Amino acid sequence: MALEIVETIAGLRARVAARRSAGLVGLVPTMGALHEGHASLIRQARAECSSVVVSIFVNPIQFDRPEDLERYPRSLDVDAALCASLGVDLVFAPTVAEMYPVSLECRVEVGRLADHLCGRFRPGHFSGVATVVLKLFEIVQQDRAYFGEKDAQQLAVVRRLVSDFNVATTIVGVPTVRESDGLALSSRNQRLDPDERQLASALYHALQRVKSAIAAGVSNVSELKQLAATQIPPDPRLRLEYFEIVDPVDFQPVDAVTGPVVAAGALWVGTTRLIDNMRCVPGES
């Protein structure tokens, strides 16, 4: 069957219901501007599910800066063509009015998981993410939902959301897809000019350096954070917003590395904010 683009909640529910008897339904939630990272999520969903739904919705309530929402790339026709080429069954592309017909009175509150990293610098962001994800889960009623590990804190929030609210779905984390120089694929990479693009892999190199140091037995967090900072070139277009070493489950900062951790950072490259992370394990290269 050809790809269908559905704009209404009622229409999406009806089409998913008609397909449910065929087997598992997979959901890949996105904000569009699809790239190879999204394609990896879709391919895994296609391999594991009988029906695949990709949602494309730029969610206004997760943006902490109006100019960021305004600048977010939108390319539904191109995105739909990619989805069709990957065998997606349904694209759910609702308007803001469809998803939020009235002002929200109820939102999902995210606790300690949002205290650090992006949650610290983007107030309300994870509440907006958790709220729209819960809405999408209720609309689609999928069996599996696929999220990229690049957004590790978001993935942790979604896993806890499913646990806390007894949502009947399996969350599947998919490894980060990178450019040849290590830069994690992101829709925001489109904003980088050629010179900025050359600088953008600095965060990846900082993460790699820290991962190697932890594998070699370095456990002092202050030393590791300083090591990461030295990997960021002294260029006025670069600003390291944060670099933290956190527990991989609750995303709280650790005092020392005694087991698996997540190293995570946010780097401003000009006016574009990029995030990345790596799982680091002592003794494991």
Residues assigned a catalytic role: 38
Distance of alpha carbon 171 from alpha carbon 164, whole angstroms: 13
The angle that helices 125-140 and 9-19 make with each other, rounded to 10 degrees, is 50
Query: What contacts 30, CB < 8 A, 6 or more positions away?
Result: 38, 41, 54, 55, 56, 57, 79
Query: What contacts 76, CB < 8 A, 6 or more positions away?
Result: 5, 32, 56, 93
Strand partners, 265: 243, 276
Token code pair at residue 214: 């932890």
Please report which helix (H) or strand (E) contains residue 267, including its range.
strand 261-269
Give the dihedral of Cα atoms 130, 75, 27, 60; nearest 10 deg.
10
| SS3 label, residue 278 | strand
Among residues 177, 181, 225, 219, which one has the least CA distance to residue 199? 181
What type of residue sits at position 261?
V
Burial 214-233 (b: 16+ CB within 10 A, else e): beeebbebeebbebbeebbe
DSSP state of 190: G
Distance of alpha carbon 216 from alpha carbon 134, whole angstroms: 41
